[in-house]
């Protein structure tokens, strides 16, 4: 049986588990093993599922790993802000008309974000 979004109830959207695993790595603040990551992911997926996701993230260059005993300790390559910025840059590079994409993005920003963007473009930020 499918929910309103066409997914099976209890199933994650594509990429959602990868995002949750990355979030667990960011919150850890240090290199951690798959078991530690699994404890931080909602619904406690199978250990082998977490290992598969970590391997995929490693293959994509989003995490590093170092040998620790018989397993690995994983760390994100970028912090959360860097990861989001890289995704935005990738979308911009593959989105066709750059000016149109940027114009649409800026036009849909809340006023406070638009002001922050202006400050950042001018080279300063009011904290």
Q: How high is the pLDDT of residue 56?
A: 95
Q: List, for residues 44-67, the tens digit of each pLDDT value.
A: 899 999 999 999 999 999 999 999
pLDDT, tens digit (0-9, with 9 covering 90-100), for 14-28: 688 999 999 999 999
Measured CA to CA, the distance from residue 60 to residue 92 in angstroms comes to 19
Q: Is the pLDDT of residue 94 over 80?
A: yes
Query: What pLDDT shows up at residue 9?
Result: 54
Note the pLDDT of residue 63: 96
Q: What is the pLDDT, as a whole number, of residue 26?
A: 95
d(CA 68, CA 46): 21
- How would residue 126 be classed by pLDDT, with cut points 50, 70 and 90? low
Fold of 16-76: Arc Repressor Mutant, subunit A (1.10.10)
Query: Could you write out the DSSP letters of every residue in 17-47?
Result: HHHHHHHHHHHH-S-B-HHHHHHHSTT---H
- What is the model's pTM? 0.71
Q: Pick the residue with more confidence: 93 or 67?
A: 67
pLDDT of residue 127: 53
Average pLDDT over residues 57-85: 94
Domain limits, the chain = 16-76, 80-121
């Amino acid at each position: 049986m499918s929910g309103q979004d066409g997914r099976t109830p209890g199933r994650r959207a594509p990429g959602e588990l990868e995002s949750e695993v990355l979030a667990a790595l960011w919150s850890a603040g240090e290199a951690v093993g798959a078991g530690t990551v699994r404890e931080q992911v909602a619904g406690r997926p199978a250990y082998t599922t977490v290992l598969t996701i970590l391997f995929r993230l490693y293959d994509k260059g989003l995490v590093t790993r170092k040998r620790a005993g018989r397993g690995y300790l994983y760390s994100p390559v970028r912090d959360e802000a860097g990861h989001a910025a890289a995704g935005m840059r990738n979308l911009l590079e593959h989105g066709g008309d750059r000016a149109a994409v940027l114009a649409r993005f800026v036009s849909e920003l809340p006023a406070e974000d638009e002001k922050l963007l202006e400050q950042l473009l001018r080279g300063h930020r009011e904290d």
